[in-house]
């Protein structure tokens, strides 16, 4: 007897395989990649391409309706109520255009009548510059109109309603009408008809379902072909929404499948276990620690310790509130690795941060970082700093120490990724502020120790809290730890929105800084850009402000602000320093050192101080033109104060009127100090592509249907399912899913995996 499940019996082929075969048998079957010209003719295909850029059947079919008009909801005109959102079906009786008196453009006035047999109602509509409407809404045209019911000089009207023309056949069927996202010159009617032509050619043979059957059954999702039908030509509205959900799920599943595959790959790699030792550097460090670890540091520390001891590479993201002590957590992990004979590399996004980190690590380690030096402890190691701007001789020395294994920790920017950098025994890569690094860079770095087939462990730290759903979506191949709680010595930072057009507030701003400086503290003033030079302006804008809503904003330059500060009576005698990205590395280092030592009392800076800068004595920060920064950025910036047990004050300075929508974001930042809450708020106000990195890759948002916040549950389910599907050999078992994943990765160059 042969076991049919183990023998490759052609009769036992999966349904998926049979579908593929059917498609091969019928080469004329419509497929997603079929050129639209073949389906709808050259003329229509050209119109579609001009309107949306689509060239294939699959692309057009995934142009999903924005909403549906339910014929059940249609109101007779005579029953319309003022102020209501209403939908009517009516025939145009009259249309005329009128020039505007005091504005450019024209007003289209349309009168319609509905066919309520009892009492035909008349309704007036107006469209401002309705070029398309003027062409379509000719007397005799029938359409579904929806809009708000208004009163115009005693007459009922809809102003600028949405409408969709009705064809003869439409009427008979009493189905809900899809309303598609704005189609430019293409009328809804024409789009509906084009869609129908394409839909009529869709078959299971040409459109195999990438979502595995059992997953579909478990999640009660319709199959691909029936979902396409339901979403474009629903018989009832709930059916349309069920189909929509299926497409959202499919999108989530593809993404999660990619991530699950990365996890699988990772699990297949091996790493040298680094369990540490009971009487090594870490033990000595802990014993000398001047404070106790927070509960969160203990818990996350234990997780990391466990991961590092495994023979597979750790791949973990630690997120924590600003000031929660992530650096300490990372250092303890690095010490454990050193205790097991490995080295650690720590990557920072900027040179300022890298040298800060090196200094911080050396300070935290004290005599434990002085190997081979006078006063060094017996088990000591060394911390080296490698940046692009090191003098050649020093650079050689650092490289030598990395290659010989003498340096336990090497801190640097992406210069560390350079091919010349060799480690004797790279055991752990720590990436600080991961959102600035692309995934490729990280992969390259991880490959750094791979000569012997061993992958170093990776620890990613981000100071920008990431909402759970985004973490699942963007970092889905990474284990996540959340560092909760702040060290006990943290004092609260109070945040105020300062409307600077009011002179009293403006003066208060300067006198507050003066008071703090007189009390022995220090102050930051942060500005959105360096110079008034327009070229530089573009560069700053590209990395800074992340809101699309920004009208031309006031963006005070550092140069301008420096003059204001130096001239201000309240600040006479205050030692002012400046720090920005255009300074040479040694100038930056000097500016930071001056501020750290207190030689500089007021530091005027751009966002280079955003992350990681740690000067405990600073108690006040004024952020100028605060609306030009994103929510997360503002939260990061204010995390620089209130670090030394002294309460801090953060002033979000704006020239905007209180009513301006951007001020709402500032109020949100002022209202809470919870970074996770703000991250969610940030997410709501940003476009998805920004979060997922698509904006950097220059493309449109890669997530089409899925909305990260709204579809959290769908994403979680897809993650579960993907984890089950993706086991060794899954690609053979689920060829259609595999093909869809490939297609998706090709077209979007994995943009949504780019954490850049």
- The residues of the shown chain that bind Mg ion, judged by CB under 5 A, are 327, 612
The site partner of 320 among Mg ion, ligand ADP, none (C-beta below 5 to 8 Å per kind) is ligand ADP
The yes or no reply on residue 297 touching ligand ADP (CB under 6 A) is yes
Using the contact rule CB under 6 A, the part of the chain among 100-108, 249-257, 318-326, 419-427 near ligand ADP is 318-326
The yes or no reply on residue 324 touching ligand ADP (CB under 6 A) is yes
CB of 318 to ligand ADP, least distance (A): 9
Q: How many CB atoms neighbour CB 452 within 10 A?
A: 9
Using the contact rule CB under 6 A, the part of the chain among 177-185, 258-266, 286-294, 436-444 near ligand ADP is 286-294
Measured from the CB atom, the residue of 327 and 464 that comes closer to Mg ion is 327
The yes or no reply on residue 323 touching ligand ADP (CB under 6 A) is yes
The yes or no reply on residue 487 touching ligand ADP (CB under 6 A) is yes
The site partner of 322 among ligand ADP, Mg ion, none (C-beta below 5 to 8 Å per kind) is ligand ADP
Measured from the CB atom, the residue of 430 and 741 that comes closer to ligand ADP is 430
CB of 528 to ligand ADP, least distance (A): 22
The yes or no reply on residue 366 touching ligand ADP (CB under 6 A) is no
Local structure of residue 434 (DSSP, 8 states)? G
Alpha helices in 122-212, H assignment, sequence order = 131-136, 168-173, 188-200
Using the contact rule CB under 6 A, the part of the chain among 204-212, 325-333, 375-383, 689-697 near ligand ADP is 325-333
Task: Single out the residue of 598, 594, 600 nearest to residue 571, CA to CA.
Answer: 600
CA angle 548/549/550 to nearest 5° reads 95
**Of 56, 294, 441, 717, the one binding ligand ADP by CB under 6 A:** 294
CB of 308 to ligand ADP, least distance (A): 19
**Of 463, 579, 608, 722, the one binding ligand ADP by CB under 6 A:** 463
The site partner of 388 among ligand ADP, Mg ion, none (C-beta below 5 to 8 Å per kind) is none
Local structure of residue 529 (DSSP, 8 states)? B
The site partner of 529 among Mg ion, ligand ADP, none (C-beta below 5 to 8 Å per kind) is none
Measured from the CB atom, the residue of 255 and 328 that comes closer to ligand ADP is 328
The yes or no reply on residue 23 touching ligand ADP (CB under 6 A) is no
Alpha helices in 201-236, H assignment, sequence order = 213-218, 224-232
**What is the dihedral angle through the alpha carbons of 708, 709, 711, 714, rounded to the nearest 10 degrees?**
80
**Would you call 16 helix, strand, or coil by DSSP?**
helix
The yes or no reply on residue 718 touching ligand ADP (CB under 6 A) is no
Write b or e for each residue in 634-661: b if 16 or more Cβ atoms lie within 10 A of its Cβ, otherwise e.
bbbbbbbbbbbebebbbbbbbebeeeee
Measured from the CB atom, the residue of 335 and 561 that comes closer to ligand ADP is 335
**Would you call 459 helix, strand, or coil by DSSP?**
strand
| Tokens read off for 149 | 């019911």
The yes or no reply on residue 357 touching ligand ADP (CB under 6 A) is no
What is the separation of C-alpha 254 from the centre of its chain, rounded to a whole number of angstroms?
A: 18
CB of 322 to ligand ADP, least distance (A): 5
**Of 121, 320, 630, 689, the one binding ligand ADP by CB under 6 A:** 320
- Long-range CB pairs of 131-137 (<8 Å, 24+ gap) are 132/185, 132/187, 133/108, 133/163, 134/95, 134/97, 134/108, 136/165, 136/187, 137/92, 137/95, 137/108, 137/110, 137/163
The yes or no reply on residue 325 touching ligand ADP (CB under 6 A) is yes
**Would you call 79 helix, strand, or coil by DSSP?**
helix
Write b or e for each residue in 707-719: b if 16 or more Cβ atoms lie within 10 A of its Cβ, otherwise e.
ebeebbebbebbb
Give the integer Cα–Cα distance in Å for 519 and 602: 13
CB of 24 to Mg ion, least distance (A): 57
By CB under 6 A, the residues from 61 to 80 that bind ligand ADP are none
**Would you call 748 helix, strand, or coil by DSSP?**
coil
Q: Which residues contact 452 (CB under 8 A, 6 or more apart)?
A: none
The site partner of 672 among Mg ion, ligand ADP, none (C-beta below 5 to 8 Å per kind) is none
Give the integer Cα–Cα distance in Å for 100 and 128: 9
Measured from the CB atom, the residue of 323 and 648 that comes closer to ligand ADP is 323
Q: List C-alpha distances in Å: 612 to 239, 295, 582.
A: 51, 21, 19
Task: Single out the residue of 365, 375, 460, 444 nearest to residue 409, CA to CA.
Answer: 365
CB of 613 to ligand ADP, least distance (A): 9
Listing DSSP states for 270-330 in one string gives B-------TTSHHHHHHHH-SSPPPHHHHHHHHHHHHHHTSSS--EEEEEE-TTS-HHHHH
The answer to whether the beta carbons of residues 612 and 356 sit under 8 Å apart is: yes
Give the integer Cα–Cα distance in Å for 668 and 203: 50
Measured from the CB atom, the residue of 327 and 473 that comes closer to Mg ion is 327
CB of 645 to Mg ion, least distance (A): 18
The yes or no reply on residue 291 touching ligand ADP (CB under 6 A) is yes
Give the integer Cα–Cα distance in Å for 677 and 108: 46
The answer to whether the beta carbons of residues 690 and 227 sit under 8 Å apart is: no
Closest residue to Mg ion in the complex (CB): 612
CB of 442 to ligand ADP, least distance (A): 19
The yes or no reply on residue 328 touching ligand ADP (CB under 6 A) is yes
CB of 697 to Mg ion, least distance (A): 28
Describe the chain by its helix, strand, coil percentages, rounded to 5. 45, 15, 40
The yes or no reply on residue 491 touching ligand ADP (CB under 6 A) is no
**Of 146, 164, 230, 327, the one binding ligand ADP by CB under 6 A:** 327
**What is the dihedral angle through the alpha carbons of 74, 76, 79, 83, rounded to the nearest 10 degrees?**
50
Measured from the CB atom, the residue of 128 and 291 that comes closer to ligand ADP is 291
CB of 12 to ligand ADP, least distance (A): 56
**Of 73, 113, 614, 720, the one binding ligand ADP by CB under 6 A:** 614
CB of 334 to Mg ion, least distance (A): 14
By CB under 6 A, the residues from 634 to 693 that bind ligand ADP are 643
Measured from the CB atom, the residue of 127 and 646 that comes closer to ligand ADP is 646
CB of 334 to ligand ADP, least distance (A): 13
First to last CA, the chain: 56
| Contacts with ligand ADP, residue ranges (CB under 6 A) | 291, 293-294, 297, 320, 322-328, 463, 487, 489, 614, 643
């Amino acid at each position: 007897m042969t076991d049919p499940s183990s023998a490759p019996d052609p009769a036992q082929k999966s349904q998926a395989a049979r579908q593929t075969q059917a498609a091969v048998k019928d080469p004329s079957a419509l497929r997603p990649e079929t050129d639209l010209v073949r389906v709808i003719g050259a003329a229509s295909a050209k119109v579609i391409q001009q309107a949306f850029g689509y060239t294939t059947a699959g692309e057009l079919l995934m142009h999903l309706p924005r909403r549906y008009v339910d014929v059940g909801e249609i109101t007779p005109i005579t029953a319309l109520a003022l102020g209501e959102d209403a939908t009517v079906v009516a025939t145009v009786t009259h249309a005329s255009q009128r020039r505007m008196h005091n504005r450019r453009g024209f007003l289209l006035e349309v009168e319609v009548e509905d066919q309520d047999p009892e009492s035909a109602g008349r309704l007036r509509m107006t469209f401002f510059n309705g070029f398309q409407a003027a062409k379509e809404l000719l007397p005799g045209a029938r359409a579904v109109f929806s809009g708000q019911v208004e009163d115009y000089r005693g007459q009922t009207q809809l102003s600028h309603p949405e409408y969709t023309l009705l064809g003869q056949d439409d009427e008979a069927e009493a189905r809900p009408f899809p309303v598609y996202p704005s189609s430019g010159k293409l009328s809804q009617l024409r789009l509906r008809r084009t869609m129908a032509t394409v839909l009529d050619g869709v078959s299971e043979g040409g459109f195999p379902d990438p979502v595995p059957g059992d997953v579909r059954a478990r999640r009660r999702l319709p199959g691909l072909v029936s979902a396409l039908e339901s979403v474009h030509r629903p018989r009832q509205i709930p059916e349309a929404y069920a189909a929509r959900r299926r497409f959202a799920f499919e999108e989530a599943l593809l993404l999660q499948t990619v991530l699950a595959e990365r996890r699988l790959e990772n699990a297949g790699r091996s790493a040298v276990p680094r369990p540490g030792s009971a009487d090594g550097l870490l033990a000595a460090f802990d014993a000398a620690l001047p404070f106790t670890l927070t509960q969160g540091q203990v818990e996350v520390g234990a997780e990391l310790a466990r991961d590092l001891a495994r023979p597979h590479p750790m791949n973990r993201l630690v997120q924590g509130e600003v000031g929660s002590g992530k650096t300490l957590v990372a250092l303890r992990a690095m010490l454990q690795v050193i205790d097991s004979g490995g080295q650690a590399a720590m990557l920072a996004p900027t040179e300022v941060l890298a040298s800060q980190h090196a200094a911080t690590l050396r300070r935290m380690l004290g005599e434990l970082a002085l190997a081979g030096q006078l006063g060094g402890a017996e088990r000591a190691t060394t911390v080296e700093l490698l940046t692009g701007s090191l003098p050649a001789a020093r650079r050689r020395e650092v490289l030598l120490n990395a290659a010989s294994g003498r340096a336990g920790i090497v801190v640097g920017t992406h210069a560390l990724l350079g091919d010349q950098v060799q480690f004797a025994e790279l055991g752990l890569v720590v990436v600080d502020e991961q959102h600035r690094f692309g995934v490729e860079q990280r992969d390259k770095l991880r490959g750094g120790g791979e000569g012997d087939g061993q992958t170093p462990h990776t620890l990613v730290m981000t100071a920008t809290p990431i909402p759970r759903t985004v973490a699942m979506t963007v970092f889905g191949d990474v284990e996540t730890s959340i560092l909760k709680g702040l060290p006990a010595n943290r004092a609260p930072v109070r945040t105020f929105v300062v409307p600077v057009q009011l002179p009293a507030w403006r003066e208060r701003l300067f006198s507050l800084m003066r008071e703090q400086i007189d009390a022995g503290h220090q102050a930051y003033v942060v500005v959105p850009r360096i110079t008034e030079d327009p070229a530089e302006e573009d560069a700053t804008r590209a990395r800074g402000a992340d809101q699309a809503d920004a009208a031309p904003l006031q963006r005070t330059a550092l140069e301008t602000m420096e003059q204001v500060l130096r001239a201000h009576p309240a600040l006479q005698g205050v030692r002012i320093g400046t720090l920005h990205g255009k300074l040479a590395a040694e100038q930056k280092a000097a500016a930071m050192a001056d501020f750290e030592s207190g030689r500089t009392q007021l530091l005027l800076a751009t966002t280079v101080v955003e992350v990681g800068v740690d000067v405990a004595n600073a108690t006040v920060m004024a952020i100028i033109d605060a609306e030009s920064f994103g929510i997360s950025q503002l939260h990061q910036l204010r995390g620089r104060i209130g670090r030394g047990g002294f309460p801090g004050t953060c002033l979000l300075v704006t020239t905007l009127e209180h009513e301006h929508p951007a001020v709402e974001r500032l109020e949100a930042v002022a209202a809470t100090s919870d970074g996770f809450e703000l991250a969610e708020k940030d997410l709501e106000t940003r476009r998805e592509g920004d979060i997922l990195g698509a904006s950097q890759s220059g493309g449109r948002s890669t997530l089409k249907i899925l909305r990260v916040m709204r579809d959290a549950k769908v994403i979680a389910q897809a993650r579960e399912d993907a984890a089950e599907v993706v086991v060794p050999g899954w690609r053979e078992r689920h060829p259609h899913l595999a093909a869809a994943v490939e297609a998706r990765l090709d077209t979007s160059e994995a943009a949504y995996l780019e954490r850049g």
